Structure 1
Amino acid sequence: MLKNRHPVDIAQILLSVMFLLLIITACLWIVRPFILGFTWAGTVVIATWPVLLYLQRLLWGRRSLAVLVMTLLLLILFIVPVALLVNSMVDNSGPLIKWATSGHMALPRLEWLNAVPLAGAKLYSSWNTLIDSGGSAIMAKVRPYIGTTTTWFIGQAAHIGRFVIHCALMLLFSVLLYWRGEQVAQGFRHFAFRLAARRGDAAVVLAAQAIRAVALGVVVTALVQGVLGGIGLAVTGIPYARLLTVVMIFSCLVQLGPLPVLIPAIIWLYWSGDTTWGTVLLVWSCVVGTLDNVIRPLLIRMGADLPLVLILTGVIGGMIAFGMIGLFIGPVVLAVSWRIYSVWVSEAPEPQSAAAAQTPKVSQENK
């Protein structure tokens, strides 16, 4: 018996899809000012959720008290230090901006080269000969790039107010997510299950684990190394220690480590004749520079059982592609993609196993 097929209304399908796309675009456009703050809040809440549960158990099972304590901790450990660091960058970058925009830049004469044994006088003579012959031409070519770079940094300073707003939104969304975290997580898992059944649910859980692994392994390690390195700079009397601490934390986040900042500081101390503090900073730098080899793998394994190379590649590539928020987006995307790929490949037998299973059949057919 033949069943009557209803004609497909292509126009209705196309209009329905276009209407859904329009609604989604409008929603994204409306919430666009809040996306960055909510993303940061979600990252912070996912990374610190075990701490909230621990505080809740200590505070007689009261979620309100635990949320209050976590809010105060975010203010003390995140908002206030970030505000101080930004203020330090603005204050200490003033002389540099003034020098770069003055238009009186010239290559230094490097008189201290004369004090270098053996080859110092020759190096000084060669350097000043280069300056006298083509120094002005070199600076004429370099000056436009310095001016462009300085203008960019000045333009970035105008975004400090927007950054403060994002921090306030992050704090507000963090409080809401701490209060209703289970319901929000269940909503995301339900949506993912509706899209891809169990695989979708597993992808959401893996994304949370990857965020926690990055927060623990990369961010905490960078903060520990940067703060300890900054303490070493401050104790040994290095100028602009706070600004160099900010640079060191950023260098650790991009996986360069603290040594690009600490090594020039050590050289400066020895060159200025302060060999005692130079030796102290040298020993301290050896300790700080090797901490990531111990702390980072341990913390990443605590967050998620993922390859270390995958996490570090996601951190570097994510920051290049998306900025600071890419620090978490990159590893999450790579981790979820890797796990989906692994599950899909493992559903089929390995080539050796499949060949071994087919060998008896082939031998029987030959007989």
Structure 2
Amino acid sequence: MVKKSTFDQKEYKKFLFYVMFIILLIASYLIIKDWLITILNAMILVMIFYPAYEYLDKKIKKKAISSLVITIGIILLIALPTGFMINSLVKETSGVYNSLKDKFEGVDFRQKDCDTLLCKINKQVDNAIYEYNLKDSIVNAFEAIGKTISQISFDFIIGIPSKIIGFLIMILMIFYLFLDGKRVLEFIEIPLTKVQQNKVIKHIRDTIYGVVYGQVIIAILQGVVGAIGLMLVGFHNPVLFGVIMAILALLPIVGASFVWVPASLYLIITGILTSNTWILGKGIFLLLYSGIIINAIELFVKPKLIGQKAGLHPLIVLVGILGGIKLFGFGGLILGPVILSIVIKILEMYKAK
């Protein structure tokens, strides 16, 4: 009876320990859940720049200094293009918006007789606008768009403290992962042999490099194609907008369309308002040119290029990117394909076993 009582007491203590441990795990998750994506993004950046860190560490043989230098380099790589893009977009968007608004307000909506097809169509539209007093409504719509943009900017500014905290957490994570990343991996026990672990880690690195390489090459290609399109239609600052498109092409969903769609609509609306067939034709050409070529690059060339570099089927890459973006946001561009590739690699190893 005494032995049984002692056994029950040990089992009870063990059970209590597991319950407490599970509670602590849940509490830990709740503590970090808002920063989980930030932490994952930091881990990805560390894996991307780890070869640079190792190279620098071999040269100066000071882990803390090497980690600090590479971390500062990452900050500059993120901050400088982002600042340039935001500054350029704000200036150019404001200019285009004011130009379009002035053109619309300056149009005489009671057109005289004309012979060209565009002019006749424009006349019918203008008469309808004048008859139903739609001009004020459209001008008000422009003002509403301006207010919406201001509200979005205000919301963005309000959210800056949270974004700064997230950015600081990511930077600290990057710094300490460079320093102690290997020890963290050694601490985590994975039910795989050392050879299998090395294979999985190599596969993760190859996938990350493949995704990053593919994203960067495709972004540059989209920027070049977009700049050529803008140059062909005589749009001002095509090189600047090409650079902005290349940067935006790295972003999920919106991408380069954030530039070429408004540019096309600007030309189309300007052509209609001024009864200028040439400008209207330019707008339609830019819309079709960019819509077909840039989207084809995004949907077909990108998955194939990333798949070749990462050793994944293009369909898995496409599903990984789209699903990853939906689940993780911007970080899902890399996290999605990486997670799917890890699962596939582990399944392949167990199948071979």
> Please, what TM-score do these two structures have when normalized by structure 2?
0.64
Identify the residue that residue 221 of structure 1 maps to in structure 2.
Answer: 217
Tell me the distance in 2 between the aligned counterparts of 1:164 and 1:241: 31
Letter of the aligned partner of 1:79 in structure 2? A
Identify the residue that residue 209 of structure 2 maps to in structure 1.
Answer: 212
Identify the residue that residue 334 of structure 1 maps to in structure 2.
Answer: 340
Tell me: CA distance 1:110–1:312, structure 2 relative to 1, closer, same or farther (3 Å): farther
Deviates more, 1:167-176 or 1:89-98: 89-98
Tell me the distance in 1 between the aligned counterparts of 2:185 and 2:115: 66
1:164 Cα shift?
2.7
1:163 Cα shift?
1.9
Tell me: CA distance 1:237–1:129, structure 2 relative to 1, closer, same or farther (3 Å): closer
Identify the residue that residue 123 of structure 1 maps to in structure 2.
Answer: 121
Tell me the distance in 2 between the aligned counterparts of 1:110 and 1:260: 31
Tell me the distance in 1 between the aligned counterparts of 2:243 and 2:312: 30
Identify the residue that residue 174 of structure 1 maps to in structure 2.
Answer: 174
Deviates more, 1:289-298 or 1:30-39: 289-298
Deviates more, 1:164-173 or 1:89-98: 89-98
Identify the residue that residue 309 of structure 1 maps to in structure 2.
Answer: 315
What are the within-5 Å matches in structure 2 for residues 41-120 of structure 1?
A: 41-57=42-58, 59=59, 62-64=62-64, 66-86=66-86, 118-120=116-118
Native 8 Å contact 2:321 2:336 kept in 1: yes
Letter of the aligned partner of 1:46 in structure 2? M
Letter of the aligned partner of 1:221 in structure 2? I
Tell me: CA distance 1:259–1:26, structure 2 relative to 1, closer, same or farther (3 Å): closer
Letter of the aligned partner of 2:160 in structure 1? I
Identify the residue that residue 101 of structure 2 maps to in structure 1.
Answer: none
**Cα shift readout 1:228-285 (whole Å, capped 9, x = no counterpart):** 5787779x763798788556633454477646734764784996989xxx9xx99xx8
Identify the residue that residue 325 of structure 2 maps to in structure 1.
Answer: 319
SS at structure 2 position matched to 1:192: coil
Tell me the distance in 2 between the aligned counterparts of 1:70 and 1:43: 14
> Please, what TM-score do these two structures have when normalized by structure 1?
0.62
SS at structure 1 position matched to 2:312: coil
SS at structure 1 position matched to 2:317: helix
Letter of the aligned partner of 2:337 in structure 1? P
Native 8 Å contact 2:85 2:244 kept in 1: yes
Tell me the distance in 2 between the aligned counterparts of 1:94 and 1:154: 16
Native 8 Å contact 1:226 1:249 kept in 2: no
SS at structure 2 position matched to 1:180: helix
Identify the residue that residue 32 of structure 2 maps to in structure 1.
Answer: 31
Tell me: CA distance 1:55–1:19, structure 2 relative to 1, closer, same or farther (3 Å): same
User: Cα RMSD (Å) of the superposition?
Assistant: 5.5
1:46 Cα shift?
0.7
**Cα shift readout 1:79-137 (whole Å, capped 9, x = no counterpart):** 23324444556677779999xxxxxxx999797x99x9842123213323553449589
Percent identity for Structure 1 against Structure 2 = 19
Tell me the distance in 2 between the aligned counterparts of 1:321 and 1:135: 42
